[in-house]
Amino acid sequence: MATASKSRFPYHRRLFLVLLGFSWTLVASFLVFQYGREKHFKAERLDARLQLFNLRLLDALKEGIPAAEAVRLHSGPFGDLRVTVIGRGGTVVFDTSADSLLENHLDRPEVAQALSRGTGYTIRRHSKSTDRSYFYSAMRGERCIVRSAVPYTLPLRELLAADREFLWFMLGVTLLMSVAGYFVTRRLGQNITRLKAFAERAERGEPIDPIPHFPHDELGAISGHIVRLYAALQRTTADRDREHALALHEQEEKIRIKKQLTNNINHELKTPVAAIRGYLETLAANPSLDDARRMEFLEKSREQAERLARLLSDVATITRMDEAGGEIRRERVVLNDIVAEIAAEMELRPAGQRLRVNCDFPHPVAVVGSPSLLGSLLRNLADNAAAYSGGRDIFIRLLSETADSCTILFADNGIGVDEEHLLHLFERFYRVDKGRSRKLGGTGLGLAIVRNAVAVHGGAITVRNRERGGLEFVFTLRKHA
């Protein structure tokens, strides 16, 4: 394999050959284009001279002068000029070469062009009647077509030929560029060869000192920086690995302790317990309630007890999300229903913690996920706003929706938090105001549960302070499992 690699051309030669091929191809294409363009220009200029002669003949024929007399009276731009008068049906009426009088000329290219466009020419075509090649130029009149032809001889070929001085000039410039390109690519190849030698030594793990010498140009400066960076990296790899292993161990220990505490302190318990307590206290304080109302409160208490059991199971599952996130049972959940439940539960809160729930869902928004986790997500945000925002309203709005996901905004119009706390709000056990949080019964797990619930449903969540006060959470949920 090494032998095959050494037998190949050096990189700078291969680069030079590629650039050489590209530049010569470009020049050749330009010369071909320019040659054709110049030849076409000269042909049109010759055609214009012949067309002027054709026009004079047509005027003479229109005045009733016979074709032979008209040709004799009007001298052409060239001495050896062949003139043909053709009827609209293609029959030759007159020709200075009598051999072609009986041939139909509708199939001649210049005649067909004259019939369709008024004028036409053919640069070079062999005539069967005279056994010579001509440059033909034809013009259509009211009753006939006049065609003049110049023999395609050496003087005419030289007249239509492209300027060769330009060709030699371009070839000379291209040659000079090729020589300059060779020296430039050779210098570049030397830098790349040194970089290749460095890469091979780095792959084998060999020491890089002393640093190879590179030319004083941009590529040399970049190469020197790369080599010095790698040399420094070699000297610090061992220390970095040891520090990384120590930090990883400490991080795993912290996660283990926090997960253990999460299993013992269930922030989610307070919401269903408070709801059950509220229903039971209402029943106890109002013994005269009618049977229908009493059964309604008992049924709601039973529903909250069932939700409490589900929450206990789901919170325990959250602590194992990193290892077994796929174990959570998923089903179709309409978020509008959860928001309606939160609004109803908010009405049962004390006046000081009661917020108005403003929902802006233009249609039912459904996702596939865990009903309890999605309920926990929105309830924790609502609890957080009711307990700490100091505002009077909650705003829940559908920002965008696709076939695969939906993006939802949850905001309040409270006081917000200082910017320094925003990056830590989703950390477990983090409290903005520790004394107030403990007084209200908070454990610092609510927003951590929100973040985990969003992650389980394939989304992400961000938070920022609103310009008009309060916090604004924006999160995305996948619509399919």
Q: How confident is the model at residue 180 (pLDDT cuts 50, 70, 90)?
A: confident
Which of 299, 313, 301 is CA-nearest to residue 275? 301
Which of 431, 413, 425, 274 is CA-nearest to residue 346? 274
345 plus 448 within the same structural domain: yes
40 plus 178 within the same structural domain: no
pLDDT computed for residue 97 by the predictor: 75
177 plus 137 within the same structural domain: no
Q: How confident is the model at residue 327 (pLDDT cuts 50, 70, 90)?
A: low
Tokens coding 235: 């000297």
pLDDT tens column, 237-278: 767 777 888 878 777 765 765 565 555 455 456 767 888 888
158 plus 145 within the same structural domain: yes
Average pLDDT over residues 185-206: 70
Give phi and psi for 26, each to the nearest 5: -65, -45
Residue 288 inside a domain? The answer is no
Residue 97 inside a domain? The answer is yes
Of 240, 256, 272, the domain-final residue: 256
374 plus 415 within the same structural domain: yes
More confident residue, 404 or 433: 404
Average pLDDT, the chain: 78
390 plus 410 within the same structural domain: yes
Rounded CA-CA distance 70/60 in Å is 6
Residue 41 inside a domain? The answer is yes
Average pLDDT over residues 11-18: 71
218 plus 343 within the same structural domain: no
Question: Is 348 a residue whose pLDDT tops 70?
Answer: yes
137 plus 179 within the same structural domain: no
More confident residue, 412 or 9: 412
Kindly report the three-state secondary structure assignment for every residue of the chain. CHHHHHHCCCHHHHHHHHHHHHHHHHHHHHHHHHHHHHHHHHHHHHHHHHHHHHHHHHHHHHCCCCHHHHHHHCCCCCCCCEEEEEECCCEEEEECCHHHCCCECCCCHHHHHHHHHCEEEEEEEEECCCCEEEEEEEEECCCEEEEEEEECCHHHHHHHCCCHHHHHHHHHHHHHHHHHHHHHHHHHHHHHHHHHHHHHHHHCCCCCCCCCCCCCCHHHHHHHHHHHHHHHHHHHHHHHHHHHHHHHHHHHHHHHHHHHHHHHCCHHHHHHHHHHHHHHHHHHHCCCCCHHHHHHHHHHHHHHHHHHHHHHHHHHHHCCHHHHHHHCCCEEEEHHHHHHHHHHHHHCCCHHHCCEEEEECCCCCEEEECHHHHHHHHHHHHHHHHHHHCCCEEEEEEEEECCCEEEEEEEECCCCCCHHHHCCCCCCCCCCCHHHHHHCCCCCCHHHHHHHHHHHCCCCEEEEECCCCCEEEEEEEECCC
465 plus 344 within the same structural domain: yes
Determine contact, residues 398/410, Cβ cutoff 8 Å.
no
Residue 415 inside a domain? The answer is yes
> What order do you get walking across the sheet with 82-87 strand by strand?
92-95, 82-87, 144-151, 132-140, 119-127
Q: How confident is the model at residue 215 (pLDDT cuts 50, 70, 90)?
A: low
Average pLDDT over residues 5-10: 56
Q: How confident is the model at residue 366 (pLDDT cuts 50, 70, 90)?
A: very high
Q: How confident is the model at residue 226 (pLDDT cuts 50, 70, 90)?
A: confident
pLDDT computed for residue 342 by the predictor: 93
The domain tally of the chain equals 3
Question: Is 321 a residue whose pLDDT tops 60?
Answer: no
User: At 360, which CATH number?
Assistant: 3.30.565.10
Residue 263 inside a domain? The answer is no
Question: Is 292 a residue whose pLDDT tops 90?
Answer: no
pLDDT computed for residue 444 by the predictor: 61
Average pLDDT over residues 208-227: 64
- Domain boundaries, position 42: 12-162
Q: How confident is the model at residue 291 (pLDDT cuts 50, 70, 90)?
A: confident
Residue 132 inside a domain? The answer is yes
pLDDT computed for residue 361 by the predictor: 94
pLDDT computed for residue 442 by the predictor: 47
Residues 6+ apart with CB under 8 A from 292: none
Of 228, 256, 284, the domain-final residue: 256
Rounded CA-CA distance 3/20 in Å is 27
51 plus 122 within the same structural domain: yes
User: At 150, which CATH number?
Assistant: 3.30.450.20
Residue 211 inside a domain? The answer is yes
376 plus 468 within the same structural domain: yes
Residue 279 inside a domain? The answer is no
- How much of the chain exceeds pLDDT 90, in percent? 17
Of 162, 180, 208, the domain-final residue: 162
Average pLDDT over residues 293-313: 77
136 plus 189 within the same structural domain: no
Q: How confident is the model at residue 7 (pLDDT cuts 50, 70, 90)?
A: very low
- How much of the chain exceeds pLDDT 70, in percent? 73
Average pLDDT over residues 286-302: 85
Question: Is 161 a residue whose pLDDT tops 70?
Answer: no
pLDDT tens column, 61-87: 888 888 888 888 877 777 778 888 888
Average pLDDT over residues 308-331: 63
pLDDT computed for residue 463 by the predictor: 94
